[in-house]
Amino acid sequence: MKLTGAEIICECLLEHGVDTVFGYPGGAALNTYDALYQYSDRITHILTAHEQGASHAADGYARSTGKTGVVLTTSGPGATNIVTGLATANIDSIPLVAITANVTTDQLGRDSFQEVNIVKITKPITKASFLVKRVEDLAPTIRKAFALANHGRKGPVLVDVPKDITALRTEYAPMEPEQPELIQIKNPDCIRRIQKLIENAKRPMIYAGGGILSAGACEEFRAFAELIDAPVCCSLMALGSIPASHRLCVGNIGMHGGYETGMITAKCDLMISCGARFSDRVAGDREKFGEQAKIVQLEIDEKEINKNVTVDEYILGDLRAGLTALTVGLEQQAHPEWLAQIEEWKHHFDNVVPYNDEYLQPQDIINTVNDLKDDDDIIATDVGQHQMWVAQYARIEGQRTLLTSGGMGTMGFGMGAAIGAQVSHPDKHVFLFTGDGSFHMNLNELVTLKSYHLPVIVLVMNNTVLGMVRQWQKLFYGGRFSQTDPHRATDFVKLAEAFGVKGMRVSRDDEMKEAISKAMAMREPVVIDCRISPDDNVLPMIPPGKTITDIVTKMD
């Protein structure tokens, strides 16, 4: 049958099981949006306030479901507004397909109105970017985009479609979507050598990365950790890969991890990295990170092997396959003395955060949510101090229940991510932890919450300053607070009400439980302005490029 390019886009989305897209229309995209009108019974379109919000919403949809997120935009600024969203998805390995419109093919390269070469702009921050110049190539290109987004190390792919291509007709035949190829272990001879390292280890540890969730390998990972009886230290992206309540889960690792995770990396004799990048925020001084230990890396992306830290052994291939292969023939290990030592380290710096009875305590806000939420409810964060407090204190029990910008550290990510999560999980509670700085970057999306009746609970940790940058200025720049005390007069309660959203303000700890309970019962969007101290710091902290011996546990 013959269809227009716009209709082919819709049919290809349906081929790949897409029922929800996020976006914003415009002139060059009108044909596509006209087709979406005809397909509205099968494809739901969520209109955001800004294209960047749409890209983060598609990302949050993908992170919370494991499916591929889809974002649609018009040309020019519509396309460039999703660049940050693509970069965020790319570094965190999130499958995303972006379909952008462009001027007609005869206007390309002429500096036409709202023309931009989005393919060249996005090539460094996507797995691939394509410009479709023939309508006959449209379906194959979209199918290739979905396949690439999910093959190997996942990530975003962009397809740029000129307006005339969406109007032209060509033959279309439905096809079954291409299944991602399972990347088998490329160096199976290493398995027995690594098993020997495990058998000989007295103090093993596992450094868990977001690749565990991306690979859908949480069950295999948990079984492996239990078999080798090794403590699990999670990167920000790995939180939820093993329940926080599991006896082997130690918690967040790196710059704002606990003293115990720093000591584990300094004292282990075997470190097994599973789907992790050895980020600078985890490794600090990469020359000294785990220098006393044998290091093993399980990784699907060959470029990551030995990129940041030199390893002794590695498994290159699908993470589930690698974890399963390591368990075959390996007997149960036991390390009671090592685990007992870790329990002692957990209490080495109790009460690091001083109590200030004039303000809400960040950890108390998070612990209140811990007590009220279900294990499969979802927490999204923006970026800053509140993000690190969530990593330290939130009990992340379920897979894909923490949505946070790990590698890019994108302020403004959280609201879009919460929208994507709530759209895809209408029966779950979705909590957005944000700071007043981050919230000012995405508060326009309150209109999206209201328009689609999305009951996201927004908890603004409001210290009236740019907290994380200010903390660094305090610690490393002699307390010279340059542009981190913006003196904004925004009233978040009135702001919420202006958008038609319920607003609350909490300034005392004894009000917190009642406010959150009320918000959860309402099942409508709520903004809760939580007043915290501008002098609260995220502690402990390992300074950049340093080790556990340089840990900071208090600040004046």
> Of 44, 102, 96, nearest to 73 (Cα)?
102
> Mean pLDDT in the chain?
96
Q: Give percent of the chain with pLDDT exceeding 70.
A: 99
Residue 293: CA count within 13 A, CB half-sphere: 27
pLDDT at position 353, please?
A: 64
pLDDT at position 38, please?
A: 97
Average pLDDT over residues 383-390: 97
Average pLDDT over residues 348-372: 85
**Fold of the 188-346 domain:** Rossmann fold (3.40.50)
Q: Does the annotation mark 113 as catalytic?
A: yes
Distance, CA of 295 to CA of 284 (rounded, Å): 16
Tokens of 65: 């479901």
pLDDT at position 351, please?
A: 59
Q: Does the annotation mark 175 as catalytic?
A: no
Give the Å distances, CA to CA, from 554 to 59, 67, 262, 551: 36, 42, 17, 9
pLDDT at position 553, please?
A: 85
Catalytic residue among 114, 333, 341, 473: 114
Is the pLDDT at 477 greater than 90, yes or no? Answer: yes
The three state secondary structure string of 508-555 is CHHHHHHHHHHHHHHCCCEEEEEEECCCCCCCCECCCCCCHHHCECCC
Average pLDDT over residues 102-127: 96
pLDDT at position 344, please?
A: 94
Q: Does the annotation mark 130 as catalytic?
A: no
Catalytic residue among 2, 113, 343, 554: 113
> Of 451, 455, 413, nearest to 433 (Cα)?
413
Domain ranges of the chain: 2-171, 188-346, 362-538
Rounded to the nearest 5°, which phi and psi values hold at 86?
Answer: -65, -40
pLDDT-derived band at 478 (thresholds 50, 70, 90) equals: very high
pLDDT-derived band at 16 (thresholds 50, 70, 90) equals: very high
Tokens of 293: 């230990």
Distance, CA of 383 to CA of 389 (rounded, Å): 11
The answer for residues whose C-beta is within 8 angstroms of residue 256's C-beta and 6 or more apart is 388, 391, 392, 538, 539, 540, 541, 542
Catalytic residue among 7, 11, 22, 51: 51
Tokens of 172: 């279309």
Edge to edge, the sheet with strand 502-506 lists 402-403, 378-381, 430-435, 457-462, 526-531, 502-506
> Of 266, 248, 262, 254, nearest to 349 (Cα)?
262
Q: Round to the nearest angstrom and report the end-to-end CA distance of the chain.
A: 72
Is the pLDDT at 134 greater than 90, yes or no? Answer: yes
Catalytic residue among 408, 468, 504, 541: 468
The three state secondary structure string of 355-420 is CCCCCECHHHHHHHHHHHCCCCCEEEECCCHHHHHHHHHCCCCCCCCEECCCCCCCCCHHHHHHHH
Catalytic residue among 154, 163, 294, 428: 163
pLDDT in tens, 163-201: 999 999 999 999 999 888 778 899 999 999 999 999 999
Reported as type and span, the H/E element at residue 458 is strand 457-462
Average pLDDT over residues 22-44: 98
pLDDT at position 349, please?
A: 72
Q: Give percent of the chain with pLDDT exceeding 90.
A: 93
pLDDT at position 555, please?
A: 81
> Of 62, 63, 5, 60, nearest to 31 (Cα)?
5
Is the pLDDT at 366 greater than 70, yes or no? Answer: yes
Is the pLDDT at 397 greater than 80, yes or no? Answer: yes
Architecture of the domain made up of 362-538: 3-Layer(aba) Sandwich (3.40)
Beta bridge partners of 101: 161
Average pLDDT over residues 387-412: 97
Q: Do domains 188-346 and 362-538 have the same CATH topology?
A: yes
Q: Decide yes or no: CATH 1.20.1050.40 for domain 2-171.
A: no
pLDDT at position 509, please?
A: 87
Q: Does the annotation mark 51 as catalytic?
A: yes
Contact between 420 and 64 (Cβ < 8 Å): yes
Q: Does the annotation mark 114 as catalytic?
A: yes
pLDDT at position 352, please?
A: 58
Q: How many CB atoms lie within 10 A of CB 418?
A: 34
